[in-house]
Structures are given as structure tokens and as C-alpha cells.
Structure 1
Amino acid sequence: MGLFDFLKSKPIDYYNVGVTFRVDDVPEDVYEAVLVNDYVNLRTVENRNDVRIYAPDKRIRAQIGVVPSKYLNVVKSHLLRNEKIKAHDSNILEKSSGSLLISIKLKV
């Protein structure tokens, strides 16, 4: 492998695979209220540098956390292009020790 081989690699196409990430330090009341397979709500505005993740409205109305910086641009641009991420396209895959594994499917 050459010194600059990393430049030849193709960027990940998140629009075909979606994103999956862990949100740590979820507030205890929110962690206890959400279930695996619950959908999550995603919200942002153009002048804010984050995408906030909220618990489903049915049991508790609270912020879970934010989309990690690694995925911020792709998720935010997707939301701002008025492409609705449907409830079944963003959900909780796993609960573990106060953290949640979140999956977001992005469509072209």
C-alpha cells in the first residue's frame, strides 16, 4: 500500500447505506421511557450546527441527543432539502448501559 493510497479510496455513499451511531449519556428518564424499535424524530434549522434527536412523542417528549459530527453534514443536508425522513426510517436499534444505537436510512 502506497503512502497516498487513501486518496484513491471512494467516499462512503451514505445515501445507499444510511448511518448508524451510538448516542451516549442519554438522560435517565428518556432512556427508561424509550424502547428498541421506537422511531426517533430528527430536527434542525439552517443556522444551527446540529441535528437534534428526540424521543417519540407517544411516551415522553425529550431530547435524546444530537447526531455525531461525523454524520452531521449528510443528515442535516438531507433534512434541509425537504426530504422527510419517515418515522420508520429512523429508529432505536439497541439500548445498552445508558446509550442508544440509532439508525437513520437516507434516500436519494
Structure 2
Amino acid sequence: MLDLIAGAIADPVRREILELLRAGPLPAGEIANRFAITRPAISRHLRVLRESGLVRDETVGRQRVYALDLAAFDELTAWLSSLAGPTWEQHLDALETEVYRTRRERRKEHEAHPDRKTGSDG
């Protein structure tokens, strides 16, 4: 599925369609009116997006309305996140954990030996 998604977003017209749909569902005709290419070309782009799972369509009256299917983006987001490695938030969480662990160890050491000096000078 990831290959289908990557192929779908590789095209700049399809990425622009996705950006249009970010604001909400749109009929196919309204999407086509925003581009200088033919309606059949837009229909092909919409089919690729639908087959990749990035958009879903629904017939409303005589119109076909397209909307983003955000669940399809989860797989892509997870894969991209795995490439990027840990985020700054994860690094800061790890630092916070280490600070609390160090404080807890010092408190335990102080409780076990209250007359011993702690800190950097001894």
C-alpha cells in the first residue's frame, strides 16, 4: 500500500488536489475547474488517488464528491517518522526521565547517608 501512496503523491497535480481536499470534500467538477488540464486528465488523477486510498468518493445526486481519507496517511506518516528518527520531543522526554532518575538516586543516597556531602564539591 505504501508504494501506491508514494506513487500517488509523486505527481504535483495530485498533491495539489490533496491540498484542495484538505479544506473539505469537493465535487469532481469543482476540482477540475481549478486546473488548466482536461477533465478526463483530472478524472485519471482522482482515480489514482482513490485507488491509493488517499481519497474516497461518494455519489451525491448527479455529482461525485471526493474527500480525503486520513487513515491512509497513517502508514505514510509512520514510515516517514521511522526514517526521521527520534523527535526533539522524544529526546527531551528522555532527558527529563534521566533528570528525575538522577534526583531520585541522590535523594536515596542522602537518606542512607545524611551526614555525607552531595554535589559537585565532594
TM-score band w.r.t. shorter chain = under 0.3
User: Quick check: which one's helix share is greater?
Assistant: 2
Structure of larger gyration radius: 2
Q: TM-score, normalised by structure 1?
A: 0.25
Q: TM-score, normalised by structure 2?
A: 0.23
User: Quick check: which one's strand share is greater?
Assistant: 1
